[in-house]
Structure formats: structure tokens, C-alpha cells
Amino acid sequence: MNTQLIESKLDPDLAVINEICAAGEPWVKIVKQGQIFRIVDLEGNQAVDTLFFNANDALERYSVTDTIRAQNKLYLTTGSKLCSNFGNVMLTIIADTCGRHDTLGGACAAESNTVRYALEKYPMHSCRDSFLHALAHETACEQLGMSKRDIPSNINFFMNVPVTAEGNLEFIDGISAPGKYVEMQAEMDVLVLISNCPQLNNPCNAYNPTPIRLLVWDTQTG
């Protein structure tokens, strides 16, 4: 895939939201149509499992199938349009200093930890746990009537999951670095649901989950 590394001109000091999400924690916010949303990989190679929902109707949500089909590409970078299950564009990536983001690897769960690693890994915290915790405790999710049935396949920002010639997925060392970021413009009001991945069993984050920074701007100017 041809990556498109483009830096943003936006000033973090002018962001209307500028927050840190600790390693292994969920994060939920509504980003309004036209606003700019940035995810910063503060220490490098941190997997950021992310879901997007129509902020007015959670039945419309990010669709990996529609996104891949619309652009005929497996990985995301500048110019990629994130599509919903209704066929609408939810967000467009307008800046990216990493250059490749995974659409296929999904979120780690208690069950997948046992299959991939070992039975004793079952109690370890996972991204699905973080998603479920947010659905149960975040007011924005409650107002939309969301439940575990509303968790689709997610994007893994900064995660490197190549497809082998045999059609298998490999979870390998990331290609990001400290300070790399991806920036999106919302094409509709979206609810952003993030699990800042707690995974300790594969090299996607060097076996060391780290914090991320989340920023939102009202416009592209400034």
C-alpha cells in the first residue's frame, strides 16, 4: 500500500478537547460534524482500538466491510474514508504521520487471549472489556441505548497486521513511533469509542501498553 504521510497544521493549544487516555482505559466523546479529531501515539507502537457510531442513531456505525470495499484497500492512511454500515462516510483521514492503520485484526478479548496465547490468559484485561465497561458507564452510550450487541469490528490505529500470501493475519511489531498521529475530519456527528489496548501478549505495543492523547478542534483553521 502507498502511504501518504501528511502533517497537520493545527495547533494543540487551540484544541477544544485535549486529553490523555491511560494505557488500558476506554475513552468516549462525541465529535461534531466538521470538527477535527486527532489520536496521538505518545510513546510509539500503541494499538488504539477504535469504534465510531452515528451520534444520533447508534444503529449506524463504522463498517470495516463498507470501508474496505469503498476504497479497495485493506489499510488506512491519509485520504481514507471511514464508511458506515449504511454506506455513508463518517470520517475522512486528513493527516497521518504513521501511514498505515489496521482494519482486520479486531479487538482482543478474554476468549481470543486463550486461543492465541494460553488458557491462563483468560482473566487478563482486554479491549472488549474496555468497550463493555464504556457501554455500561458512559452517559453518551446510555443515551443511545447501546449494549454489547452494538460492538462491531473496530479499527486498530497504529497497529501493524500484515496479511500473508496464504491469507493469514500476523500480529507483529508496529511501525509507529513516539509522537506519530492520525487526524480525521468528522463528516457527521460521531460518537467515538476507544479502547487504548491493554494487550501484554503480542509485540503490537512492545508488550508495554502506553498512554495516548486525544484532541478535537472546531475547524481546520488556526
From CA 153, how far away is CA 140, in angstroms rounded? 20
> Quick one: cell of 25?
482505559
Q: What's the pLDDT at 187? A: 98
pLDDT in tens, 167-214: 777 777 778 999 999 999 999 999 999 999 887 777 777 788 999 999
pLDDT in tens, 100-158: 999 998 888 667 667 676 566 655 678 899 999 999 999 999 999 999 999 999 999 99
Q: What's the pLDDT at 48? A: 96
In this prediction the pTM is 0.91
Q: What's the pLDDT at 191? A: 98
pLDDT in tens, 56-71: 999 999 999 999 999 8
**Share of residues in the chain with pLDDT > 90 (%):** 72
Nearest CA to 45 out of 214, 210, 213 is that of 210
> Quick one: cell of 80?
481514507
pLDDT(222) > 50: no
pLDDT(1) > 90: no
Q: What's the pLDDT at 205? A: 74
Q: What's the pLDDT at 71? A: 87
Placement of cell 491493554 in the chain: 198
In a 13 Å sphere around the CA of 92, the CA atoms on its Cβ side amount to: 9
Burial profile 29-57: b = 16 or more Cβ within 10 angstroms, e = fewer: bbbeeebbbbbbbbbbbbbbbbbbbbbee
What's the Cα-to-Cα distance from 49 to each of 142, 166, 217, rounded to whole Å?
20, 25, 21
pLDDT(42) > 60: yes
What's the Cα-to-Cα distance from 65 to each of 75, 157, 175, rounded to whole Å?
12, 17, 24
Nearest CA to 98 out of 8, 3, 19 is that of 3
> Quick one: cell of 36?
477535527
